[in-house]
Each structure stands twice: as C-alpha cells, then as structure tokens.
Structure 1
Amino acid sequence: MKRIIYIVFCLISVLSFAQNNNDLFTQANTYYNDGKFLDAIAKYEAILSTEKHSAELYFNLANAYYKLNKVAPSIYYYEKALQLAPNDKDIKNNLSFAQNMTIDAIEVVPEIGFTRVTKSIVNTFSFDTWAVFSVTLVMLFVVLFLAYYFSYGTGKKRLMFLTSITSLFLAFITLAFAFQKYKYVQNDNPAIVFAQESEVKADPNLRSESTFILHEGTKVQVLETYKSNWTKIKLSDGKTGWISNQDIKTL
C-alpha cells in the first residue's frame, strides 16, 4: 500500500512539475509578445534552472536576447537550439542574423577532395543511425548467407552469395562511418565568446604576447584547458591561442 501511495505521489509531482513549466513558458511567451523581453528572459531561464531543455525553449530565449541586441547570449542559445534541432530552418536563419552583429570576420578554411566528401557523407546521419544501419546490414548478411547455404539452384546460390557479401561489405562501411561520426562528435567542443573584447594569448598566462583579439559572439573550438584558468581555442581559419575561461561559455 505504501508503495502505491509513493508511486501516486511521484506521478502527481511530475505532472505538477510539468504543468508549472508549461505555465512559465506561457507567461514567458506573453511577456515576449508584449515586448517585455527582460521579463521573458527571466521566465525562460527559470525553466532552464529546472533542467528542462528543448529546441523551442532555447530558440525563444535566443530571440528575446536578440531583441535586446545581446549578441553573445543570442548566438549561444541559437546554437543550443540548433544542437537539438539541427535541420530547423528558422533557427538557422535567426542564427545567421545574430552572427551578422558580430565584429570578427573569420574565414572558414575550406575542406577539399576526399576529406570533404567523406565528412559530408558521415555527417548525413547521427552516430546512432549509422550504428542501426550497420547492425541491420549484418543481420541481412546472416539471413542471405543462410539462404545461400540452403539453396540448391546454382543461379540462386550465386545471387545469395553476392548479395550477402555486399551486405557484409556495406556493414563494415557503415560501421566505419559510425565510428568516424563518433570521433567528430567527441572532437566538437564549441564555445561562444561572451566578453565584449578578449585578448587571445600565445601562452596560458597574462604576461604572454597577445596574438589576436576576439569580440563577443564569436564561435571557437575548445582544444584543452590549463589550470582551470585558461583555455586553448581554435578558430575556423586555423588560428589557435589561449583565452581566459571567464571570457567564453561552452555549448
């Protein structure tokens, strides 16, 4: 009986929690529509404090910051929304508008040849999707090989053998793509510069020479950290340097 009461209590708590977040979201949207963007931001962030995340929540929060011309947080939350909904056109369009407010004009080093083609194919699907393809093809190989083994006609055996080998070959390829996608995800550690202006140093200390300056809203890749004070970053044009941890916020 106590267990049933406990389960019922948990269900009521979850439903109450969800309803509270829905009320906050509705209030935030109302504030946003009334042009009260600071109040909307407070409500959206109150939802985030409950560890409730969604692309729509990040998108609306980014829009509110964008309306206040807050470059870094608007780009940051658009990027967070894009992580959850990578194919959403509205998020991509609004992100591009926010990026137009940044000062730094950093060119992207283009990838060429086989690397560009491979990366384009691998990024077509997620790691989980490539893994499902690989497992499915292995299962198909087993079925086709058994069909080949128990077949009697020469033509049918040849067809089953060729298709089973092809399935196995494709399984290895998709498995390789899955591991490559996992590697891309592991190496992808982006951050947004939140400081209005930040000096990037050649070494992780204040006495080091400044190699270049970054401004708020610029996206960088985090390579490593040093003594919890400095972070080594890389730009899309290949430049690297050390920046204060206080000046960036990882996605």
Structure 2
Amino acid sequence: MIRSIRILAWAAAALALWWATSAASPLARQFLAGLEAYQAGRYEQAIDQWEKIVRSGVANPELFYNLGNACLKADRLGPAILWYERAARLRPNDPDLRFNLDYARSLTRDRTEDTAISLARILFFWNYQLSRRAIAVTGLAGNLIFWLLMIAWRLTRRRGFFRTALLVAVPALVLILTAAANLYDDGRRRQAVILPEAVSVRSGHQPTDTELFVLHAGAKVRVVKQQKNHYQIRYSADKIGWIEQQAVGLIDTIQ
C-alpha cells in the first residue's frame, strides 16, 4: 500500500492566491487539475497534468513523489520507480518517499546481488542520507569555514582556532571528495530505469541481433554508452547489452 500524495507548498500558496485574485497561474491550475483527477481515480489524467508542470522546468521532489504515486496507481511500475528515483536524488531521506520506493521495488521481477550496494551504504552512509546538492554545499561551506579559521589563527596565534580548523577540514574534505566522485560517476555511468513491462537486451542495435537477456519494468541499470537510438546498459557484472533509448528513463534527465 503506497502512502498518500502531498500537496506542494507552492501550490497551496498559489491556491490561496487564486482565491484572493480569481486568476490562478497556469502551473497552479495544472497542479490542481491533476490533484482533482488523482482523487477521482483518473490517474492517467493526473499524470498528464503533472508532467506538463515538469516539462515547464519545475524540478520539485514533492511533484516527482506525487507523479510516482499516480504512476503506481495507474499500474505503470517503470515510470513510478523512475519518478521516485528522481525525487530521491533531491530528497534522499524522506521517509514516505523511501517507503513507497521500497514498495515499488518489491513489485519488480528482476533481482541483483545487493551485497556491494549494502556495504557501500554502510561505509559511505552520508552519501545516501544527504542529497548530492547538500553534500556539495556543505563541503564548500566547511572549506570556507576552514580558511576563515586559519586566517583567524594567523592573526591571533590562538591554538583554539588552529585545532578547530583541523577538525573542520576533515569532514569538509570528505564531502568535497564525495561531491567530486558523484559528479564523475554521473558523467561516466548514468543511472536509468526500465520503463516497459519487458524489453529484450541484445548484443547489438538490430532487432535480429542475439537476445542476451530480458529485463522488466522498474529494473535499475547503468548506461555505459550511447550510439544513435540505443544505449549500452549494464544490469550486473555478467549482464551487459544494448536496448533502445525509449525503453529507459534517465534518472538525472527529464526527457
């Protein structure tokens, strides 16, 4: 059972403004139309309205979360997981979001070995509890504080400033290195979600090429290469092949 949708703060403010001025903005009208459709059980209509907001340039974790809920209600498992994953990049420690994402993942048909992933979550827990933006901003802020403390130490020669600077330097350096690693990883190995109910992963670009294996809706993969209308994807160490671009949704890109 998924947890309920949430009304965006900006949409609530827009609704109040609408009552005051009798002229809602197009985005507010689209959100409210989608909310009304969702509550009436017209999930495809809700998806259509909310995706229009996304295509206008709005990147909001609450909106992505609601889209995930609507897609799951509409039995569109692949898109549901994609929207939850996009929301999780912006707000990774949201309990309702994690609950719904875990529930949606439990419905998928494909399984991989999670030992390495679980170990990474333990050793690098901050990278899974904070958003990537928060990691980068906090690391840069720590770096700034370090240099301010060093300047204060140079001017006053008080050891307290120097000791505090060293304490700040370690987590700041770790966060900056983490942000750099995330940036490199995003550019080199983009993550994506399988959208159709089932898709053949082949040895090449042609429909006649050998079918290596089949993936199903919601499976999470890494994009290794891009050629024309195809991606080379990696699902696990022994499962690498080619699929059409339209069969996957990139988590870091709104298509």
Which residue does 1:3 correspond to in 2? none
Which residue does 2:233 correspond to in 1? 233
State the 1:107 CA deviation: 1.9
TM, length-normalised to structure 2: 0.75
Which residue does 1:133 correspond to in 2? 142
Aligned to 2:108, the other structure's residue is in SS state coil
Bigger Rg, structure 1 or 2 = 1
Which residue does 1:221 correspond to in 2? 222
Which residue does 1:100 correspond to in 2? 106
Q: Does the Cα contact within 8 Å between 2:193 and 2:248 map onto a contact in 1? A: yes
Write the distance in 1 (CA, Å) between the matches of 2:77 and 2:28. Answer: 27
Which residue does 2:58 correspond to in 1? 52
List aligned pairs for 1:1-251, cutoff 5 A. Answer: 19-110=25-116, 119-121=124-126, 125=130, 126-148=135-157, 159-160=159-160, 164=162, 167-168=165-166, 170-171=168-169, 174-188=172-186, 189-203=190-204, 206=207, 208-226=209-227, 228-235=228-235, 239-251=239-251
State the 1:131 CA deviation: 1.5
Deviation string 1:124-169 (CA, Å, 9 cap, x unpaired) is: 5511211111121121122123211xxxxxxxx6x35xx5166257
Aligned to 1:104, the other structure's residue is in SS state coil
The CA RMSD measured in Å over matched residues stands at 3.0
Q: Does the Cα contact within 8 Å between 1:130 and 1:177 map onto a contact in 2? A: yes
Residue identity in the other structure for 2:242:
W
Aligned to 2:116, the other structure's residue is in SS state coil
Write the distance in 2 (CA, Å) between the matches of 1:17 and 1:128. Answer: 37
* Distance 1:176-1:244 versus aligned 2 partners, 3 A rule: same
Write the distance in 1 (CA, Å) between the matches of 2:139 and 2:40. Answer: 45
Write the distance in 2 (CA, Å) between the matches of 1:139 and 1:170. Answer: 11
Q: Does the Cα contact within 8 Å between 1:109 and 1:236 map onto a contact in 2? A: no
Aligned to 2:141, the other structure's residue is in SS state helix
Q: Does the Cα contact within 8 Å between 2:93 and 2:129 map onto a contact in 1? A: no
Write the distance in 2 (CA, Å) between the matches of 1:122 and 1:132. Answer: 17
Q: Does the Cα contact within 8 Å between 1:62 and 1:74 map onto a contact in 2? A: yes
Write the distance in 2 (CA, Å) between the matches of 1:17 and 1:87. Answer: 36
Aligned to 1:86, the other structure's residue is in SS state coil
Write the distance in 1 (CA, Å) between the matches of 2:118 and 2:73. Answer: 38
Q: Does the Cα contact within 8 Å between 1:190 and 1:222 map onto a contact in 2? A: yes
Q: Does the Cα contact within 8 Å between 1:58 and 1:77 map onto a contact in 2? A: yes
State the 1:234 CA deviation: 2.3
Q: Does the Cα contact within 8 Å between 2:138 and 2:172 map onto a contact in 1? A: no
Write the distance in 1 (CA, Å) between the matches of 2:125 and 2:238. Answer: 20
State the 1:213 CA deviation: 1.7
Aligned to 1:235, the other structure's residue is in SS state strand
